[in-house]
Structure 1
């Protein structure tokens, strides 16, 4: 009798673990589906060159505000995968000074980053 109770408990735990694995996999799949060219939803991603770098961004930014850049020379593809109409800007100075234009959500641009020293993300 005790052995049957133990077996039922083990079976119930195995079923619960399987359910949790399924939920986790589904959440991961949903997050992956929201990624475009390897850039997660809500992020701004930079790719070296004028292409998608096999969907592997080398730099990603998520928080609003200024982000200083280092060692970025030549052309990069900048993809704004933010949501809710958030924009991003490139800036010639550090800490978000000397900013130019706005890149709307869902858009990308190929830009020479040599004179760019920071970017800003704003709602």
Structure 2
């Protein structure tokens, strides 16, 4: 099992736990709905070492690179965009991207080396 799959599994467990704690019941994530306070169509970053039950500290809507400043340590990054939209974690503004997050997925990631989040549409070849 890769570290990425392990982190995704941990993310799913943490989100399910947060949903059960907040709402008392479990529900499937509905399309076109807010997810852990992240609006549908957006990519959200949460405060350091916080679970996604709190409000995000950053919300990005538009395709393209978005600079992030002074984000250190581990943060949840949720991609609540529509199908085929990706979020990339990049060391430079829109370049040197090494981790992608598919739509409707989240990643708990050390943002120390990251200085931008790039939103894009996946296009099959």
Structure-2-length-normalised TM-score: 0.67
1:41 aligns with 2:40: yes
**Match of residue 51 from structure 2:** 51
2:46 match: secondary structure: strand
RMSD: 1.3
What stretches of structure 2 of length at least 5 have no aligned partner?
1-31
Runs of 4+ in 1 over 6 A off after TM superposition: none
- State how many pairs are aligned: 89
2:70 match: secondary structure: coil
**Match of residue 100 from structure 1:** 98
Higher helix share: 1
Once the two structures are TM-superposed, the CA of residue 50 in structure 1 deviates from its matched residue by 5.1
Q: Pick from 93, 103, 120: which aligns with 1:122?
A: 120
Structure-1-length-normalised TM-score: 0.68
What stretches of structure 1 of length at least 5 have no aligned partner?
1-32
Once the two structures are TM-superposed, the CA of residue 43 in structure 1 deviates from its matched residue by 0.2
